[in-house]
Amino acid sequence: MRPVARVGLLTLLAAAGAAGHAQVVRENELPIEPPGLADLGVGLVLDSTVTVLGREFFTGFADAWRELDGAQRYAVTVSELPTARFGSTIRVHAQGRLVYQALLRPNRQAARETAQHVAGEVFASLLRAEAEQALYRDPDLGPEELK
């Protein structure tokens, strides 16, 4: 009776070990980051303005941007540095780099019109940079050096 108990115990330990190993393999096969979270920041238009003039610019920019970037491929941030005398410096960052900067005079209607024009310029600039990066190959330059 005793040898049967040992064989049963060994079989049980082997089965538990194999099941534990299968579980470890199964855990390693799962992605560390759930699919979709890596693309969470793509397509966002972020507002980092602080004045009424900046918000007016952002509203016009965001409206025009949503029409242009229907596929939501780019993440864009509009930031503002207000000054007491001259208006605000508006900066537009896309894909982690500065693509537009200008001084915006304190005129709300002109801010909205300027924003719509800037959205078109920024979008065209991003498309142009993407095309250049796809067409231009140089073994001495890395992809980040073409930006």
What is the domain-level CATH number for residue 121? 3.30.160
Residue 133 domain flag = yes
* Residue 6 shares a structural domain with residue 59: no
Report the distance separating Cα 11 and Cα 30, nearest Å: 29
Q: What is the mean pLDDT of residues 36-43?
A: 55
Cβ–Cβ < 8 Å for 43, 12: no
Q: Which stretch of DSSP H or E encloses residue 48?
A: strand 45-48
Supply the pLDDT for residue 142. 67
Residue 35: inside a domain, yes or no?
no
Do 106 and 57 lie in one domain? The reply is: yes
- What mean pLDDT is predicted for residues 24-39? 47
* Domain ranges, residue 11: 1-30
- 15 pLDDT higher than 60: no
On the question of pLDDT at 33 being above 80, the answer is no
How far apart CA 90 and CA 75 sit, in angstroms, is: 17
Range list of H helices, the chain: 2-29, 52-68, 108-135
Residue with tokens 């000054």: 83
**pLDDT tens, residue by residue, 51-74:** 999 999 999 999 999 999 877 888
Rounded to an integer, the average pLDDT of 5-29 is 46
**Side chain identity at residue 2, one-letter code:** R
Per-residue pLDDT reduced to its tens digit, 98-145? 999 999 998 888 999 999 999 999 999 999 988 887 777 777 766 666
Q: Which residues, listed in sequence order, are joined to residue 9 by a DSSP beta bridge?
A: none
Strands (E) located in 53-144: 76-83, 87-94, 97-104
More confident residue, 140 or 87: 87
In angstroms, how far is the first alpha carbon of the chain from the final one? 77
Q: Is the pLDDT of residue 32 over 90?
A: no
Geometric angle at alpha carbon 79, from 76 and 83, rounded to 5°: 160
What's the Cα-to-Cα distance from 139 to each of 103, 144, 145, rounded to whole Å? Answer: 39, 13, 12
112, 61: one domain: yes
pTM above 0.75, yes or no: no
Q: How far apart are CA 87 and CA 84, in angstroms?
A: 7
One domain for residues 24 and 56 = no
129 part of a folded domain = yes
In whole numbers, what is the pLDDT of the chain averaged over residues? 76
